[in-house]
Amino acid sequence: MVKEVLNLIVKGGKASAGPPIGPALAGKGIAINDVVKEINSKTAQMADMDVPVKVTIDTDSKSFEIEVGLPPVSALLLKEAELSKGSGAAGLKTVGALKIQHLIKVAKLKYEKIGGKSLKQKVLELLGTCKSLGLRVESKDPKELIKEVKEGKYDKIIEEEKTELTPEELQKLKAERKAIAEEVSKLEAAEAAAAQATATAATAPQTAPTSAPKKEEKK
């Protein structure tokens, strides 16, 4: 029995017979549509995220097995924040908000991949990632929350491994995210206007300065 292993990155729930799956399976006697269907079924909960997938093919029986990995930590945090991308300007622009429960959830999902021996240490590691993505946690700058976590303020909730929000917490989080989105929209509009003004000034025709009329010399 000969096995061949293919390691692919696909969009969660949106795999297709096109690249990278189709070309990778071409000529191997495998029903590509069956592979695509199973991958989409197994990655449906990670919609639009880049998901690592391992396809193991038995070249004799023409059967296959699919193992689905987890996206990078940053992608998981952005998914919890209901965002498609981070700020792109770490420490300068806030684009979203999370609760400590979200970090606990991601830390448990990627437990073996995140630095630190305890769940608390892994949450601290994730706070650093939140800072680089432009995400507030508990309505605070992650740097401030790192200090509070180290001081033990969130020990109870971390030890209990809570990952769910209460209705009240969820309502407040939605309001905070809405306010942040409005601020981001205003900032982006101002940046676009400034860029347009700069472009307009750069392409405007330059007029030569007019010289003062010469005075007639008295004879």
29-76: per-residue pLDDT in tens?
889 999 999 999 998 878 878 889 999 999 888 899 999 988 889 999
Looking at the domain assignment, is residue 59 inside a domain?
yes
Per-residue model confidence as pLDDT tens digits over 86-142: 987 767 789 999 999 999 999 998 998 899 999 999 999 999 999 999 999 999 999
Q: Looking at 68, 91, 119, which one is the last position of a domain?
A: 68
Looking at the domain assignment, is residue 144 inside a domain?
yes
Looking at the domain assignment, is residue 198 inside a domain?
no
Looking at the domain assignment, is residue 117 inside a domain?
yes
In this structure, the answer to whether residues 59 and 162 fall within a common structural domain is no
Kindly report the CATH number assigned to the domain that includes residue 120.
1.10.10.250
In this structure, the answer to whether residues 169 and 122 fall within a common structural domain is yes
Looking at the domain assignment, is residue 207 inside a domain?
no
In this structure, the answer to whether residues 147 and 63 fall within a common structural domain is no
In this structure, the answer to whether residues 182 and 80 fall within a common structural domain is yes
Percent of the chain with pLDDT over 70: 92
In this structure, the answer to whether residues 82 and 182 fall within a common structural domain is yes
In this structure, the answer to whether residues 96 and 173 fall within a common structural domain is yes
Kindly report the CATH number assigned to the domain that includes residue 12.
3.30.1550.10
Q: CA–CA distance from 189 to each of 44, 97, 175, 183, 196 (Å)?
A: 34, 21, 21, 10, 10
Looking at per-residue confidence, does 190 or 208 come out higher?
Answer: 190
Q: Is the pLDDT of residue 1 over 70?
A: no
Q: How confident is the model at residue 216 (pLDDT cuts 50, 70, 90)?
A: low
In this structure, the answer to whether residues 128 and 51 fall within a common structural domain is no
Averaged confidence pLDDT in the chain: 89
In this structure, the answer to whether residues 82 and 126 fall within a common structural domain is yes
In this structure, the answer to whether residues 131 and 146 fall within a common structural domain is yes
Domains identified in the chain, total number:
2
Q: Is the pLDDT of residue 219 over 60?
A: no
Looking at the domain assignment, is residue 35 inside a domain?
yes
In this structure, the answer to whether residues 41 and 77 fall within a common structural domain is no
Domain coverage including residue 120: 73-188
* Bridge partners, residue 41, by sequence: none
Q: Is the pLDDT of residue 205 over 60?
A: yes
